[in-house]
Structure 1
Amino acid sequence: MKRIWSIALAAVFVLGAFTSARAATEVKMTGDARVYGVFFAEHNYTGWNNASWTSNTPTYAHAGTKTEDRFEIWERFRLRTDFVANEAVKFRLGIKVEDTWGHGTLTAANPAVAIAVYQAYLQFKFPGCSAEITAGLQDIDLPISNMFYGSPVFGGDRIAALTVKAPLIDNTLAVLAGFGRLIDTNRTYDTTTTQVADELDAYFLALPITLEGFKATPWGMIAVAGKNAGYFTAGSSTFSSQSFAENLVSAGTFMTPALWKNDQNAYWWAGGAFEVTALDPVKFYADVIYGAGAQSDRKKSKREGWFLDAGAEYTGWDVLTPKVFGWWSTGEDHSNYNGSERMPQIRSNWGPGNSFLFDDSQVLAKNSNMGMNPVGAWGLGASLDNISFVEKLTHRLTYTYIHGNNNPAAIRAVNAALGSNPYFEMGRDLTSNEFAMGVNFDTKYMIYENLAAVLETGWAHGQFQTSVWGHRLAAKSREGDAWKVACGLTYKF
């Protein structure tokens, strides 16, 4: 297999060179490499695994059946190649290799090949205008203000989509519209002669408005969710065990009669991202989002809720940038039979200040955070960013507090019915009687212009209810706090 992949890659580059010679196609390559070690203690606040789905039936494995391996060395390489015909037409191919030392690719003991394509799209401008069309495997993120990393609803790479971006009023108003097929479980043929709805499709629209000292981006998205799509086995988070299932459905969906009544359910979101820079160097940021889904299904299967965040920063100092931020979202009420009061999500990567609590902007990304869910909770935090007293050396210090908004009765009922399950997990989903806090201190030193040494550290402490999660998990979480140290090299070219 390794030989086949090597030949295939060589063929790609030879073909690129041949095309360049025959059709004046310009080939541009960029990429990055990361090699780093991670020491992480007390994953999930216990040092044990979370529960996880094992099939779309659904079946699942319980929490607390595996013990963490605290030290890993990761290596990641990404190569992005642009085949540029002219200023209006190009094709992007992005490939990556990523694994731990001693397990897969790039190791002496077991040199299996693990090359993945994460970008593959055609991009061109429509003749006679500035509209840009992108079709293929691409990066897509719903709008979010600059204070926060990623959308709490949907975002990430490897999204199969068609998008159109065009200016409507120069430097003032633009439009971004698109369609994405996020899941197609059975592809060409369903498993029997009876056709089933096994797709998850999304349609989105954003209208960025830019004025002097102010920027607003209203946006909306509609998703059509098929009943038989693989929500329980298709992962939707880059770190935690969270999947599409617990992001989209309500807890009542698991109660008898289980799962959805409708073959297809519509989900929709509407929101806005806002940035005020008129008082520069003081800048303000905010996001408002409402989402709902399965409104025509059984009452217990409905899900809807709000998510709001806000922050401010002062950029007038050269030596550091202080920031404060907070968020609030609706949580579950006392009953699972009246639907869910949490905003539905598809794939979230939201987080402020590189916070250790959330899967967000960590550079040394694998095994990097606590994977907590900001939806169904509120929180506050502060960050000292871009700290620099020595040339080429920068730091960031962030403190984050998170408190649950979910009624304990709702989570307790699901745990009593299912046991330790992937839908509600201790350390990811908090009741209104629970909280967690985290600190991260991150450092980057630029050895050369494109080579950096990176150190990311994190600490987290949580308080969890024994009556909700059981004595075994709650008692284990009190034996010690979670912490990590990650150190490595990053190279960009």
Structure 2
Amino acid sequence: MISEEVMKKRLGALALAAGMVFGAVGAAQAATEVKMTGDARVYGNFFENRNYTGWNKTGTKTEDTFEIWERFRLRTDFVANEAVKFRLGVKVEDTWGYGTFTAANPSAAIQVDLAYLQFKVPNCTDIEVTAGLQDVNLPQSGLFYNSPVWSDKMAALTIKAPLIDKTLGVLAGFGRLIDTNRTFDTTTTQKGDELDAYFLALPVTVEGFKATPWAMVAVAGRDANYTYKDTTDVAEWGNTFANTLVSSASAKNLTTPGAVGYWKNNQNPYIWAGGAFEVSALDPVKFYADVIYGAGAMNDHKAAKREGWMVDLGAEYTGIDAVTPQVFAFWSSGEDKSTRNGSERMPYMRSQWGPGNSFLFDSSQELGKGSNMYTDPVGNYGIGASLNNISLIEKLTNRLTFVYVHGNNSPRAIRDARVNYNSAYFAMGKDLTSNEYVMGLNLDTKYMIYENLAAVMETGWAHGQFQQSVWGHRLVSQSESNGNNAWKVAFGLTYKF
């Protein structure tokens, strides 16, 4: 005879089994295809004299010249059908012996890198909507990698659609970059604690010519946390929005009445307008150009205003199988003698820009961390040349690039900003006065071991000349003791699947 307790257990097990069966049937009716892609890279990096001094930018920390970096990224697509999918991207990145890669007692650090829903509008499958954490790159011509204004992940809603088939398209979007207080502000008074962005691009393509006019408007709240620091930036530039978005006078403390550059407005608009151009009508000679204007806080205190220009121009010859010669130049407006009239440099937010994989700029380096000198193109001008896609041996490619950069900023303005406002707002070697220059040379090599496995070596050398009356005796003399030189050799493996 079966007891009541045993009977309940059996009925419970039967109910659980039935639930699993019905769940499996439901899953089969709404089957979701799962696709995975990803990449991994492991490399050793020898870097001597970061920031030309071997110290961090403020001269308070000394460098370790050798470290081993590892990154793994996994992108998983949950595909309901041809029109609907969700992508989840995760990333692990750190040095051996630290964080996740610490022996015996690791501190796990898995980062959500992408998380977005993407679908096509019913009965109009050419219109694609993407909502969530996604890659957003403002338009830039192909020779100069990504945008100097915004090139990064963004929590955003974007819509992409053709207006004229194969000729004119549109990309429109809204993103929330910062929401410091989230649901509730810190008092019963409404705070401007958000940084929002609205952007639009209209790519035009005709035979032999491509142009992409674009614009972005950002609304910057006075109480948003603009001093966010990207802790993954091994050069410790900080990447604060305060350094790149606002003037030096208002960067010190945006919310303190009485300060020279404090914001009187609860919210300030920032605007950018530009165009990316590519001409292939004279193929195998191709031309590239970009024009960008940016301005912000123009109706606030005079010292809080910021506006400026940036232009670049390049050409390449693709008629030789063994090598692609490239030449390029850029110019960006710099600070004038006064900081009390605002900033004359173009505002920007998250920049990744650079021609020829140059060692000077944070751009297209495959071995990314500790990869370059983080020179700021904004406020400087320069010229350079590259021998790209050198291919003399099967499976082996090389690139050789040289770039010279000169400052476009008044020494007086940088010195005044460092003394009176924020010593970290400008950094030696990144921001250059009109009496300073830097130059960089890089030789990059890739050998394809298999179709999806490569051995990569990136080498770089940089040399600069710096003004002691601006940066002080300690930083400049330390750089001079190194010959004003910096060196990098990185070697590793990259795998894509």
TM-score in terms of structure 2 length: 0.91
**Does residue 292 in structure 1 map to residue 295 in structure 2?**
yes
**Does residue 447 in structure 1 map to residue 444 in structure 2?**
no
Corresponding letter in the other structure for 1:484: K
**Does residue 188 in structure 1 map to residue 183 in structure 2?**
yes
Whole-Å Cα distance in 1 between the matches of residues 391 and 471 of structure 2?
Answer: 43
**SS at 2:101's partner residue?**
coil
Whole-Å Cα distance in 2 between the matches of residues 436 and 281 of structure 1?
Answer: 32
**Does residue 489 in structure 1 map to residue 493 in structure 2?**
yes
What's the offset of the Cα at 1:295? 0.4
Correspondence 1:255-294 to 2 at 5 A: 256-294=259-297
What's the offset of the Cα at 1:189? 1.7
What's the offset of the Cα at 1:195? 2.4
Please identify the structure whose Cα radius of gyration is greater.
2
1:228 counterpart (215, 223, 226): 223
Q: Which residue is equivalent to 1:87?
A: 82
What's the offset of the Cα at 1:111? 1.2
Q: Which residue is equivalent to 2:41?
A: 34
Correspondence 1:195-206 to 2 at 5 A: 195-206=190-201
Whole-Å Cα distance in 1 between the matches of residues 369 and 90 of structure 2?
Answer: 18
**Does residue 423 in structure 1 map to residue 430 in structure 2?**
no
Q: Which residue is equivalent to 1:68?
A: 63
Corresponding letter in the other structure for 1:89: V
Q: Does the Cα contact within 8 Å between 2:242 and 2:251 map onto a contact in 1?
A: no
What's the offset of the Cα at 1:416? 2.2
Query: Which stretch of structure 1 is more off in the superposition, 238-247 or 76-85?
Result: 238-247
What's the offset of the Cα at 1:242? 2.5
After superposition, the Cα gap between the structure-2 partners of 1:118 and 1:205, relative to the gap in structure 1 and judged at 3 Å, is same
Q: Which residue is equivalent to 1:249?
A: 246
What's the offset of the Cα at 1:105? 0.9
Q: Which residue is equivalent to 1:4?
A: none
After superposition, the Cα gap between the structure-2 partners of 1:258 and 1:218, relative to the gap in structure 1 and judged at 3 Å, is closer
Whole-Å Cα distance in 1 between the matches of residues 106 and 228 of structure 2?
Answer: 27
2:108 counterpart (89, 92, 113): 113
Corresponding letter in the other structure for 2:295: A
What's the offset of the Cα at 1:471? 0.5
After superposition, the Cα gap between the structure-2 partners of 1:441 and 1:21, relative to the gap in structure 1 and judged at 3 Å, is farther
**Does residue 474 in structure 1 map to residue 481 in structure 2?**
no
Query: Which stretch of structure 1 is more off in the superposition, 190-199 or 66-75?
Result: 190-199
What's the offset of the Cα at 1:231? 0.5
Corresponding letter in the other structure for 1:368: S
Correspondence 1:45-56 to 2 at 5 A: 45-50=52-57
Correspondence 1:306-385 to 2 at 5 A: 306-385=309-388
Query: Which stretch of structure 1 is more off in the superposition, 187-196 or 243-252?
Result: 187-196
**SS at 1:259's partner residue?**
coil
Q: Which residue is equivalent to 1:141?
A: 137
**SS at 1:105's partner residue?**
helix
1:178-220 alpha-carbon deviations (Å, 9 max, x no partner): 0000011111122233321111000000000000000000000
Q: Does the Cα contact within 8 Å between 2:249 and 2:260 map onto a contact in 1?
A: no
Whole-Å Cα distance in 2 between the matches of residues 28 and 233 of structure 1?
Answer: 34
Corresponding letter in the other structure for 2:197: A
What's the offset of the Cα at 1:253? 1.9
Whole-Å Cα distance in 2 between the matches of residues 163 and 295 of structure 1?
Answer: 28
Whole-Å Cα distance in 2 between the matches of residues 295 and 163 of structure 1?
Answer: 28
**Does residue 43 in structure 1 map to residue 45 in structure 2?**
no
Unpaired segments ≥5 residues, structure 2: 1-23, 253-258
What's the offset of the Cα at 1:235? 3.4
Whole-Å Cα distance in 2 between the matches of residues 331 and 307 of structure 1?
Answer: 10
Over the aligned positions, Cα root-mean-square deviation in angstroms equals: 1.5
Q: Does the Cα contact within 8 Å between 1:302 and 1:338 map onto a contact in 2?
A: yes
What's the offset of the Cα at 1:257? 3.3
What's the offset of the Cα at 1:233? 2.4
**Does residue 162 in structure 1 map to residue 157 in structure 2?**
yes
**SS at 2:243's partner residue?**
helix
After superposition, the Cα gap between the structure-2 partners of 1:68 and 1:383, relative to the gap in structure 1 and judged at 3 Å, is same
Corresponding letter in the other structure for 1:222: V
Give every structure 1 segment of 4 or more consecutive aligned residues whose post-TM-superposition deviation is greater than 6 Å.
17-20
Whole-Å Cα distance in 2 between the matches of residues 272 and 301 of structure 1?
Answer: 27
What's the offset of the Cα at 1:418? 4.4
Q: Which residue is equivalent to 1:435?
A: 437
Query: Which stretch of structure 1 is more off in the superposition, 251-260 or 378-387?
Result: 251-260
What's the offset of the Cα at 1:413? 1.0
Whole-Å Cα distance in 2 between the matches of residues 386 and 257 of structure 1?
Answer: 51
Q: Which residue is equivalent to 1:412?
A: 415
Corresponding letter in the other structure for 1:320: V
Corresponding letter in the other structure for 1:335: S
Q: Which residue is equivalent to 2:117?
A: 122
Whole-Å Cα distance in 1 between the matches of residues 282 and 70 of structure 2?
Answer: 43
1:95-120 alpha-carbon deviations (Å, 9 max, x no partner): 01111100111332431111011100
**SS at 1:351's partner residue?**
coil
Q: Does the Cα contact within 8 Å between 1:235 and 1:244 map onto a contact in 2?
A: no
Whole-Å Cα distance in 2 between the matches of residues 128 and 21 of structure 1?
Answer: 26
What's the offset of the Cα at 1:234? 4.0
1:422-476 alpha-carbon deviations (Å, 9 max, x no partner): 2111111000000000011000000000000000010000100000010000111
Query: Which stretch of structure 1 is more off in the superposition, 159-168 or 182-191?
Result: 182-191
Q: Does the Cα contact within 8 Å between 2:390 and 2:397 map onto a contact in 1?
A: yes
After superposition, the Cα gap between the structure-2 partners of 1:144 and 1:286, relative to the gap in structure 1 and judged at 3 Å, is same
**Does residue 24 in structure 1 map to residue 31 in structure 2?**
yes
**SS at 2:244's partner residue?**
helix
After superposition, the Cα gap between the structure-2 partners of 1:237 and 1:71, relative to the gap in structure 1 and judged at 3 Å, is closer
Corresponding letter in the other structure for 2:47: F
Whole-Å Cα distance in 2 between the matches of residues 29 and 334 of structure 1?
Answer: 54
1:210 counterpart (196, 201, 205): 205
Whole-Å Cα distance in 2 between the matches of residues 478 and 153 of structure 1?
Answer: 33
**SS at 1:262's partner residue?**
coil
Q: Does the Cα contact within 8 Å between 2:229 and 2:238 map onto a contact in 1?
A: no
Corresponding letter in the other structure for 1:452: A
1:100 counterpart (74, 95, 99): 95
**SS at 1:352's partner residue?**
coil
Amino-acid identity (%): 70
**SS at 1:131's partner residue?**
strand
**SS at 2:142's partner residue?**
coil
Unpaired segments ≥5 residues, structure 1: 1-16, 51-62
After superposition, the Cα gap between the structure-2 partners of 1:254 and 1:161, relative to the gap in structure 1 and judged at 3 Å, is closer
Q: Which residue is equivalent to 2:6?
A: none
After superposition, the Cα gap between the structure-2 partners of 1:320 and 1:411, relative to the gap in structure 1 and judged at 3 Å, is same
Q: Does the Cα contact within 8 Å between 1:237 and 1:347 map onto a contact in 2?
A: no
